């Protein structure tokens, strides 16, 4: 019973300098069963994240003392916590920069509480899955012998994915990918040559069906290409099917 309650009572850090927004978000998140902590400026947000170790952060871009993009970068350099950017700016550049700095998602004001709660739930669920995977991986490494067999491999052309070690190699050179990037590549490589739509990737990898923005997929694919392709302007491994989606070349 106690374990279930602890799992349910996730802590959300809300960072916004508008008291009305803080009250609105706090009230609704508390109703959903979350613990809520608040920060009113960027520096306070960084310090609170480091001290309180929240399970998810709702982070406004326009903040006093330190803007939200800088806050996102600092926090992601310290810890791996889901960050959902909340901004009044309907500016594609801010969204893209936020994602590239490590934000997991974003939502633009004005937003519906229902949509925001769905995003929060989806990102927390994804974080739990990732945490469970990492914990299982540690347990497996502790129990495994030095001659552990590595049979869970996907190999397509010059691309090799070791699903046990979460390792990607191109021409036998190890490529450093984030877990989200690995999941995208794994999903595509599991069915090489098959075009996968952005919507399918968003649903299967990010874990929510209706609230995501396909721009999130495009940014992640671009980051993967920068790591695995020799020439990103003429990719040979991860190919775009214009107007449809992506596939791994066979």
Supply the pLDDT for residue 4.
44
pLDDT digits (tens, 9 = 90+) for 171-221: 989 999 999 999 999 999 999 999 999 989 988 888 765 455 778 899 999
Query: For residue 23, what are the CA distances in angstroms to 9, 26, 27, 79, 116?
Result: 19, 5, 6, 26, 15
Give the DSSP H or E segment for 155. Answer: strand 153-156
DSSP state of 77: H
Q: What is d(CA 119, CA 110) in angstroms, rounded to the nearest whole number?
A: 15
187, 206 Cβ separation under 8 angstroms: no
For residue 139, report the phi and psi dihedrals to the nearest 5 degrees: -65, -40
Supply the pLDDT for residue 94.
62
82, 127 Cβ separation under 8 angstroms: yes
Cα angle 71, 85, 42; round to 5: 25
pLDDT digits (tens, 9 = 90+) for 150-167: 558 899 999 999 988 899
Q: Domain ranges in the chain?
A: 2-131, 150-248
Tokens at 197, concatenated: 């739509």
What residues in the chain have per-residue pLDDT under 70?
1-8, 88-95, 98, 141-151, 208-212
CATH number for the segment(s) 150-248: 1.10.10.10
CATH superfamily of 2-131: Response regulator (3.40.50.2300)
Cα angle 94, 95, 101; round to 5: 85
Supply the pLDDT for residue 164.
84
Supply the pLDDT for residue 212.
59
Supply the pLDDT for residue 74.
92
Supply the pLDDT for residue 57.
94
């Amino acid at each position: 019973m106690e374990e279930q309650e602890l799992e349910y009572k996730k802590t959300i850090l809300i960072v916004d300098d508008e008291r009305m927004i803080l009250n609105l978000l706090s009230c609704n998140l508390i109703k959903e069963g979350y613990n809520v902590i608040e920060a009113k400026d960027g520096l306070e947000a960084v310090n609170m994240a480091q001290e309180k170790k929240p399970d998810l952060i709702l982070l406004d871009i326009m903040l006093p003392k330190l803007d939200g993009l800088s806050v996102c970068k600092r926090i992601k350099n310290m810890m791996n916590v889901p960050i959902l950017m909340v901004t009044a700016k309907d500016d594609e550049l801010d969204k893209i920069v936020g994602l590239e700095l490590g934000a997991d998602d974003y939502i633009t004001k004005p937003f519906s509480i229902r949509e925001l709660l769905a995003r929060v739930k989806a990102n927390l669920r994804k974080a739990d899955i990732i945490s469970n995977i990492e914990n299982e991986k540690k347990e497996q490494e502790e129990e495994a012998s030095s001659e552990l067999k590595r049979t869970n491999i996907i190999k397509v052309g010059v691309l090799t994915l070791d699903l046990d070690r979460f390792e990607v190699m191109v021409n036998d050179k190890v490529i450093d990918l984030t877990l989200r990037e690995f999941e995208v590549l794994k999903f595509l490589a599991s069915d090489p040559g098959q075009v996968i739509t952005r919507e399918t990737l968003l649903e299967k990898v990010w874990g929510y069906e209706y609230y995501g923005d396909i721009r999130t997929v495009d940014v992640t694919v671009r980051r993967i290409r920068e790591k695995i392709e020799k020439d990103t302007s003429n990719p040979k491994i991860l190919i775009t099917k214009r107007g449809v989606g992506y596939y791994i070349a066979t």
